[in-house]
Amino acid sequence: MASHRKPRTRVRTTAPAVGLTTAALASVTLLSTQSAMAAPDPKPGVEDVQKKVDDLYRQAGTATQQYNQAKEASATQRAKVDALLNDVAKRADRLNDARRTLGTYAAAQYRSGSITPSATFFLADDPQSYFDQSQLMDRMTSRQQKAITDFRTQQAKASKKRAEAVRSLETLTTTQTTLRTSKQNVQKKLGEARTLLSKLTAEEKARLAAIERKKEAEARRKAQELAKQQAAAKAEADRKAEEDAKESGGGTGTGTGTGSDSGATAKAEKVLAFARAQLGKPYVWGATGPASYDCSGLTQAAWKSAGVNIPRTTWDQVKIGTRVATADLRPGDLVFFYDDISHVGIYKGDGMMIHAPKPGANVREESIYHMPIYGSVRPA
């Protein structure tokens, strides 16, 4: 007899597939994580290390100029504060003298305060003497009051200025501390860069040296081109001067220089003589000689040796004298570098300069094309 039971419908489940898919994804994720953990950070290339070091040196140069500027401003402000404090002390002494004088009269009035002026007049042994003394007392009291009022006004003004000066000095001191901290951070980064350099293999160090030589060779090539251009321009100028002199009957034209040109040349010679004498001395940030220099400290000292005082920082030095084009540079001119004007050197001719380069280096001669040129000035 056939069964009347309804046959069971087979239901297909996908649960095992889902479980398999989840497991597969987990495996892929695990493998990806392990791969990521296993892959070390890529080692910076030689070119990257060089760029980082160069950029950090430039940052150090900028921080040095900021420090120099703050230090100079702080010294100026401190001198003003000292002078003001001396003035306040003198005013205080004068005010104390006035108070003591007033105290003398106040004591005299107190001693006679219990007797009316009329009674004192009639009881006095010499009424005329009392009358004269009373008038003198009135006049002196009025004068003393005026003097005290004046001194108090002066003291208030001096105190106000002193408070302003102290606040200003505190601000400058805080700025210097911040700048020193900033400089320390830059030096830390320089240390990190030096560490990277020390980890380079012998082959990588050789490549880095080759890059430096190539960079220096290119800078010297540009310097030689400038020297040729300047020599050609000078020869042409001399030729024209000689022709003009012959046409005017002034001789051969060998003495065409003016007195001012001769004076400027003499000063430039002194500047270069001083700069050459500093070759080999170490760069030290914030230093102005005589044992070491930073870039603007060297240029300031060199021009001072020629009797010309120029400001302390590159940012102020670039504002003095006359701006000159690179093609028109003369020995003694100042050449500035980078967009932030954080470096300066002394032009010596033939596309070369004498400068204090950077921490760890000494004063040396180098092509002006070793760094990007911002502009140039002729201080005098």
Nearest to 314 by CA among 61, 57, 76, 75: 61
3-state helix, strand, coil in the chain (%, to 5): 65, 10, 25
User: Per DSSP, what are the bridge partners of residue 375?
Assistant: 336
Place of tokens 């021009």: 303
How far apart, in whole angstroms, are the C-alpha atoms of residue 129 and residue 349?
91
Is residue 232 annotated as a catalytic residue, yes or no?
A: no
Angle at 287 between CA 283 and CA 288, to 5 degrees: 110
In the sheet that 352-355 helps form, which strands lie side by side, from edge to edge?
Answer: 322-324, 373-378, 334-337, 343-349, 352-355, 364-367
Is residue 355 annotated as a catalytic residue, yes or no?
A: yes
* 58, 355, 358, 370: the active-site residue: 355
What tokens does 87 get? Answer: 């003035």
DSSP-based three-state secondary structure for 324: strand
Q: E strands of the chain, at which residues?
A: 322-324, 334-337, 343-349, 352-355, 364-367, 373-378
Nearest to 273 by CA among 346, 218, 324, 342: 346
* 295, 310, 352, 371: the active-site residue: 295
How far apart, in whole angstroms, are the C-alpha atoms of residue 266 and residue 260?
10
Q: Are 84 and 165 in contact (CB under 8 A)?
A: yes
* 183, 267, 270, 343: the active-site residue: 343
DSSP secondary structure of 25-48: HHHHHHHHHHHHHHSPPPPPPHHH
Is residue 343 annotated as a catalytic residue, yes or no?
A: yes
Active centre residues (catalytic): 295, 343, 355
